[in-house]
Amino acid sequence: MRTPLCESLGIEYPLFAFTPSPAVAAAVSRAGGLGVLGAIRYTDPADFEAALCWMDENTDGKPYGVDVVIPKKVEGGSNASVEQIEAMIPPQHRDFVETVLAKFGVADLPPEEHAAGIVGWMHAHARAQVEVALRHKIALIANALGSPPADVIEAAHEKGVLVAALAGKPKHALAHKEAGVDIIVAQGHEAGGHCGEITTMVLVPEVVEMVAPLPVLAAGGIGTGAQVAASIALGAQGAWMGSIWLTSA
């Protein structure tokens, strides 16, 4: 099932493993797929730098990628703090969350165990991750929030790095193509981190037709070889897989 995208990236199989684990990402790359390390957990650029250095040393020279969560536009400005973002959350939303937790009997955490929240998606953190990633020999940088800012796409292309963006609707995929993205990840509702309400089998062929000849990866509920083959039959050039790697030792 070798596809043109395999040739472009220098991989043997059209399998893209999105994972927060460097060990899993490196193992997939060594085996002939493309391991894609999720960056959102690395709020300290030094920690992300260390993780990518480890990837460099443990992929046997095989290509790998990274996945960031960087917004194209930012409410409150690109330098907004966590406190400023939290202040934008309306009381109705906080009440809704408390109601849901109470309804299902979810006990509150002790004060000393309350986490500050995941801040890796914030603009400043994500940009720092991009800067670190582009210092390494990555083959791909993917953005879970769609098209990255134009200067990020430009910086990646200057380094010879392909840019991928997730899309949950055909119109979003078309916007990514117009923004200069190289690969569209058509992610259906079945995905663990779904970004829309259209199912994978319906979404993939629509996106393939919408953005042709741009390569498309299918995502959402894919966990077997038969499902990978079905994705390619629908016009995708590979499968973007996430949840399946949670079962990996």
Question: What pLDDT was estimated at residue 125?
Answer: 79
**pLDDT (tens digit, 9 = 90+) per residue, 40-57?**
889 899 999 999 999 999
Bond prior to 213 in cis (omega within 30° of 0): yes
Question: What pLDDT was estimated at residue 61?
Answer: 96
Say if residue 186's pLDDT is above 60: yes
Question: What pLDDT was estimated at residue 93?
Answer: 92
Say if residue 124's pLDDT is above 90: no
Q: Residues 232, 187, 17, 150: what is their CA dihedral angle, to the nearest 10 degrees?
A: 110
Q: Which amino acid is at 145?
A: L
Task: In whole angstroms, give the CA distance from residue 166 to residue 204.
Answer: 12
Structure tokens at 152: 């990020």
Task: In whole angstroms, give the CA distance from residue 26 to residue 17.
Answer: 10
Contact between residue 183 and residue 5 where contact means Cβ atoms under 8 Å apart: yes
Question: What pLDDT was estimated at residue 113?
Answer: 66
C-alpha 168, offset from chain centre: 13
Local confidence band at 119 (pLDDT 50, 70, 90 cut-offs): low
Task: In whole angstroms, give the CA distance from residue 24 to residue 123.
Answer: 27
Question: What pLDDT was estimated at residue 123?
Answer: 66
Task: In whole angstroms, give the CA distance from residue 65 to residue 162.
Answer: 9
Task: In whole angstroms, give the CA distance from residue 29 to residue 62.
Answer: 6
Question: What pLDDT was estimated at residue 117?
Answer: 59
Q: What is the largest CA-CA distance in the chain?
A: 53
The DSSP element (H or E) to which 163 belongs, if any, is strand 162-167
Say if residue 118's pLDDT is above 60: no
Contact between residue 218 and residue 231 where contact means Cβ atoms under 8 Å apart: yes
Structure tokens at 88: 């934008």
Task: In whole angstroms, give the CA distance from residue 160 to residue 23.
Answer: 25
Percentage above 70 pLDDT, the chain: 91
Question: What pLDDT was estimated at residue 162?
Answer: 98
24-38, 119-133, 213-227: lowest mean pLDDT where? Answer: 119-133
C-alpha distance across the termini of the chain, in Å: 25
114-123, 146-155, 211-220: lowest mean pLDDT where? Answer: 114-123
Mean residue pLDDT of the chain comes to 91
Local confidence band at 31 (pLDDT 50, 70, 90 cut-offs): very high
Q: 15-19 and 183-187 as β-strands: parallel, antiparallel, unpaired?
A: unpaired
**pLDDT (tens digit, 9 = 90+) per residue, 87-100?**
888 999 999 999 99
Contact between residue 36 and residue 18 where contact means Cβ atoms under 8 Å apart: yes
Nearest to 36 by CA among 159, 158, 161, 128: 161
pTM, rounded to two decimals:
0.86
Percentage above 90 pLDDT, the chain: 75
Instruction: Tell me the mean pLDDT in the region 135-144.
Output: 96
